[in-house]
């Protein structure tokens, strides 16, 4: 999303993560976008918030990739957690949680993020994420633990055989995204007791492993960003209530709230159109 010559411009690109893409890849992704590429030289400031951008070397990969396209721009690259914090907490204290393809959490004191030890990725962590739930539902199918009526529906939705699944997980790129794709099965069947139980246990695991790691978790508002939190918020809210956690914002995508916060922070007043 951007603001140029008094006009708000919205566009989408492929996900950009410096752990999977180099500088040239990032530049190519931007240049393929028919909305933003023609305007690149007119852009003066860029605020990028993305996964994998917390370390200096990965931060530089994204910055250089963007700089090659937006040659006249000041470019700020920050971790996606900070963007999520700005969209949810703004400048007030709170816990900020990401439940999308992956999962993460941080505590924001109103001025800065306090470093935690979460965000371990889909192999070691990502409790309550799309990858986590995709893996859970896939395993229940492969291990023949799924009720027969759901098993038939799953096989119709995902006709891939065991050998193909194993190849995709262990030999092809982006296995986390592949696994997260199976979480779509939860959407059409989340009222089934078996699926509801998977969701409830997964959100409880996120709370136990991540939220309860903060001693003040019952005393500050807890915000969520991501499609998993958004689409299954009825189950999520029930789990949070059982654990005495106060939930505030639940955003599918933080971009609009983040956009508004950045404009306000930079003193930019949007013109009426």
CA atoms within 13 A on the CB side of 116: 21
Residue 109 has pLDDT above 60, yes or no: yes
Task: Specify whether the CB–CB gap between 69 and 42 falls below 8 A.
Answer: no
| H or E element in which residue 166 lies | helix 162-170
Instruction: Note whether residue 166 is domain-resident.
Output: yes
Beta carbons within 8 Å of 162's beta carbon, 6+ residues apart: 142
Task: Specify whether the CB–CB gap between 194 and 147 falls below 8 A.
Answer: yes
Regarding whether 184 and 123 lie in a shared domain, the answer is yes
Regarding whether 136 and 50 lie in a shared domain, the answer is no
Check which CATH number belongs to the domain holding 111 and give it.
3.30.420.40
Q: What single string gives the DSSP state of each residue in 129-165?
A: SHHHHHHHHHHHHHTT-S-HHHHHHHHHH----HHHH
In angstroms, the CA 150 to CA 156 distance is: 10
Task: Specify whether the CB–CB gap between 53 and 26 falls below 8 A.
Answer: no
Which pLDDT does position 179 carry in this prediction? 94
pLDDT confidence bin for 271, thresholds 50/70/90: very low
* Per-residue b or e along 155-186, where b marks 16 or more CB atoms closer than 10 Å to that residue's CB: eeebeeeeeebeebeeeeeebbbbbbbbbebb
Domain boundary residue among 13, 41, 72? 72
Instruction: Note whether residue 16 is domain-resident.
Output: yes
Residue-wise pLDDT tens digits, 173-211: 889 999 999 999 999 898 899 999 999 999 999 999 999
Count of domains in the chain?
Answer: 2
In angstroms, the CA 73 to CA 75 distance is: 6
Regarding whether 164 and 60 lie in a shared domain, the answer is no
Predicted model pTM: 0.81
pLDDT confidence bin for 14, thresholds 50/70/90: confident
Regarding whether 114 and 45 lie in a shared domain, the answer is no
Range of the domain at 66: 2-72
Regarding whether 217 and 148 lie in a shared domain, the answer is yes
Residue 272 has pLDDT above 50, yes or no: no
Regarding whether 163 and 243 lie in a shared domain, the answer is yes
Instruction: Note whether residue 271 is domain-resident.
Output: no
Instruction: Note whether residue 272 is domain-resident.
Output: no
Instruction: Note whether residue 52 is domain-resident.
Output: yes
Instruction: Note whether residue 200 is domain-resident.
Output: yes
CA atoms within 13 A on the CB side of 125: 17
Residue-wise pLDDT tens digits, 229-246: 999 999 999 999 999 999
Number of H helices, E strands in the chain: 13, 9
Domain boundary residue among 72, 105, 121? 72
| Residue 198 CA to its chain's centroid (Å) | 20
Which pLDDT does position 244 carry in this prediction? 97
Regarding whether 68 and 110 lie in a shared domain, the answer is no
Average pLDDT, integer, range 34-46: 87
Q: What single string gives the DSSP state of each residue in 74-103?
A: EEEEEEHHHHHHHHHTTTS-EEEEEESSSE
Regarding whether 9 and 52 lie in a shared domain, the answer is yes
CA distances (Å), origin 227, targets 131, 238, 250? 12, 17, 9
For tokens 């979460």, name the residue.
118
In angstroms, the CA 167 to CA 186 distance is: 23
* Per-residue b or e along 43-54, where b marks 16 or more CB atoms closer than 10 Å to that residue's CB: beebbbbbbbbb
Regarding whether 187 and 247 lie in a shared domain, the answer is yes
């Amino acid at each position: 999303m951007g603001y140029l010559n008094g006009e708000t411009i919205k566009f989408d690109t492929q996900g950009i993560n410096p752990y999977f893409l180099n500088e040239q890849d990032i530049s190519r992704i931007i240049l393929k976008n028919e909305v933003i590429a023609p305007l690149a030289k007119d852009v003066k400031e860029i605020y990028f918030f993305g996964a994998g951008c917390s370390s200096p070397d990965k931060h530089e990969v994204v910055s250089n990739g963007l700089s090659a396209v937006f040659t006249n721009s000041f470019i700020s690259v920050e971790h996606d957690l900070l963007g999520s914090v700005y969209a949810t907490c703004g400048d007030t204290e709170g816990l900020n949680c990401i439940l999308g393809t992956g999962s993460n959490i941080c505590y924001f004191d109103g001025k800065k993020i306090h470093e935690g030890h979460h965000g371990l990725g889909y192999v070691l962590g990502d409790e309550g994420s799309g990858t986590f739930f995709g893996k859970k539902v896939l395993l229940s199918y492969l291990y023949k633990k799924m009720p027969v009526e759901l098993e038939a529906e799953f096989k119709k939705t995902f006709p891939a055989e065991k050998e193909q699944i194993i190849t995709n997980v262990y030999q092809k790129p982006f296995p986390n995204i592949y696994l997260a794709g199976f979480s779509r099965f939860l959407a059409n069947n989340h009222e089934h007791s078996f699926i509801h139980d998977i969701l409830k246990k997964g959100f409880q695991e996120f709370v136990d492993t991540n939220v309860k790691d903060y001693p003040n978790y019952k005393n500050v508002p807890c915000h969520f960003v991501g499609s998993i939190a958004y689409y299954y918020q009825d189950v999520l809210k029930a789990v949070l209530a059982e654990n005495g956690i106060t939930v505030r914002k639940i955003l599918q995508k933080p971009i609009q709230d983040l956009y508004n916060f950045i404009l306000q922070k930079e003193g930019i007043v949007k013109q009426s159109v």
